[in-house]
Amino acid sequence: MHILLAAFALISMLLFPINATSQTPHMQLQSITDTRLATPTFVTNSHDGTGRMFVLEQGGRIMVVQPDTRAATVFLDLTDKAMTSTERGLLGLTFHPQFTDNHEFFVDYTRKPDGAIVVGRYKVSGTNPNVADPDETVVLTIPHPAAEHNGGMIEFGSDGYLYISTGDGSTSYDPANNAQDLNSIYAGSDEEKASGNIYFFDADGQPINPPVE
């Protein structure tokens, strides 16, 4: 029996050789800017054909990188609004699906002085496409007393909805077990809505019920 198994294994190796080289992923890092960045947390683009890259710094700045010069300049500065400690700060950025027409985008950050999660809507300046108008429309605010597990990823799905990730609202190892509780909204008043969920908004920043599949 052992001889039969050994023979089968040998035949399998001969018929289906394992190519170690082909299974090794090849990754190459490429610098996108010559400007020194401070604690970058995320990078994305505006999908408007300009080739610009937008880099978030944890401290609160969004830097725009031009594809031709590799220079990075300040697109939006939220350092006066964003609280930065451990995992807090400026965490998310996404551009409206119709950004080319309406020039709107959304950011996710933890605010001063209480660390609450804020999702705000902004528009690009009417005179300079590489600078944002500082006026903010708050879309969502979630109290978040813990300095960790703030989520922060926001993105439009192919369905046109804005998906907002808020983390589990807890500390290390999630002692409240929020991440495993689909009904976790910190039992309590509306002011104590917790994290650990994905919030759904339409493209205009209006809350909606989660789509049913």
> Does residue 148 fall inside a structural domain?
yes
Residue 33: the pLDDT is 86
Per the structure, the count of domains in the chain is 1
**Which phi and psi angles does 122 have, rounded to 5°?**
-130, 170
Is 6 a domain residue? no
Q: What is the pLDDT of residues 68-119, one digit of tens each?
A: 888 899 999 999 999 898 888 999 999 999 999 999 999 999 999 998 889 9
Q: Would residue 207 count as lying in a domain?
A: no
Q: Is residue 5 part of a domain?
A: no
pLDDT score at 164: 82
Query: Could you read off the pLDDT of 136-149 as tens digits, one per residue?
Result: 999 888 887 777 77
Return all residues near 16 (Cβ < 8 A) that are at least 6 apart: none
Residues in a beta bridge with 77: 61
Q: Is residue 13 part of a domain?
A: no
| 210 belongs to a structural domain | no
The domain that holds 57 is classified in CATH as 2.120.10.30
Domain-embedded: residue 72? yes
